Amino acid sequence: MSLSGKVALVTGASRGIGAATAKRLAECGAAVGVNYFTSQAPALAVVDEIVRTGGKAVAVQADVRVPEQVASMVKNTVSALGPIDILVLNAGANVPLKLFAEMTTEEFENKVMGELRGFFHPLKAVIPAMIERKTGCIVGISSGLSRHPGPRFSAHTTAKSAVDGLMKSLALELGQFGIRVNTVAPGLTITDATSWMPAEQRDAIGKMTPLRRVANPEDIAGAVAMIVSDDAGFVTGSYIPVSGGQLML
């Protein structure tokens, strides 16, 4: 799966799934923009690791919900690495774990609008050049919870269902320009975002999973690398669960 000569921008790449994805795409030969929001040192460590192993990367700060910051993130990536071929929309793991009856309007809006803004602004900033160059590949990181909700996840499920719809709409509109748009939907993955979960609960979920474990960030990164490669060149508008078989559609 060679991505040699390609430039990728991964949002939320300082930690977790985003960091693993940035490193995996770099291993495949892509030059990578490593976006971070607050975790500058971990983002620089991701860049260092890529550079030490012979790759090319740059750390780019932005809150992906803020259009001006997104514009400079994209500008800095393009001037350091070249035009963006691959955009991975991964940032954001703030999940208000609450029953709907107890959730405030503000908590619901923050989650749903934050997730949508974090997709909308990078897409708006990157798509015009992809259309002009008649090439591009976009991956939205969703969640298995968008198709299979769980109690206390209503805001998260709503947000992820919304971005799934956006990804499908863009696959429809952008195919004519040679731009592929796909969704990768992780199951439970061991990252900072899931560190609140007791080990017994995590192990129980692993035991109920056909492949008998929960995911590591590298499992999700591998699926992203697969879908952005030219081997998947005729795949667009797809929703790919990466859940060890826990979510089967």
Ligand X SMILES: NC(=O)c1ccc[n+]([C@@H]2O[C@H](COP(=O)([O-])OP(=O)(O)OC[C@H]3O[C@@H](n4cnc5c(N)ncnc54)[C@H](OP(=O)(O)O)[C@@H]3O)[C@@H](O)[C@H]2O)c1
User: Contact positions toward ligand X, by CB under 6 A?
Assistant: 11-12, 14-18, 35-39, 63-65, 90-93, 118, 141, 143, 186, 188-189, 191-194
CB of 63 to ligand X, least distance (A): 4
CB of 4 to ligand X, least distance (A): 26
* Cα–Cα distance list, 236 to 53, 82, 99, 114, 148 (Å): 31, 24, 35, 25, 22
CB of 135 to ligand X, least distance (A): 25
Question: Cβ–Cβ contacts within 10 Å for residue 1, how many?
Answer: 16
Return the number of the residue (27 or 218) whose C-beta is nearest ligand X.
218
What distance in Å separates the CA atoms of residue 166 and residue 173, rounded to the nearest whole number? Answer: 11
Return the number of the residue (133 or 147) whose C-beta is nearest ligand X.
147
CB of 181 to ligand X, least distance (A): 16
CB of 52 to ligand X, least distance (A): 20
Return the number of the residue (149 or 178) whose C-beta is nearest ligand X.
149
CB of 199 to ligand X, least distance (A): 14
DSSP-assigned states of every residue in 184-234:
EEE-SB-SGGGTTS-HHHHHHHHHTSTTSS-B-HHHHHHHHHHHHSGGGTT
Return the number of the residue (130 or 223) whose C-beta is nearest ligand X.
223
Question: Cβ–Cβ contacts within 10 Å for residue 78, how many?
Answer: 17
Spell out the residues 6+ positions from residue 246 whose beta carbon is closer than 8 angstroms to its own: 144, 187, 188, 205, 208, 209, 210
Closest chain position to ligand X (CB):
16
Return the number of the residue (196 or 234) whose C-beta is nearest ligand X.
196
Return the number of the residue (136 or 217) whose C-beta is nearest ligand X.
217
CB of 17 to ligand X, least distance (A): 4
What distance in Å separates the CA atoms of residue 9 and residue 62, rounded to the nearest whole number? Answer: 12
CA-closest candidate to residue 21, choices 209, 175, 239, 228 = 228
Return the number of the residue (5 or 78) whose C-beta is nearest ligand X.
78
List % helix, strand, coil for the chain (3-state, nearest 5): 50, 15, 35
What distance in Å separates the CA atoms of residue 163 and residue 89, rounded to the nearest whole number? Answer: 10
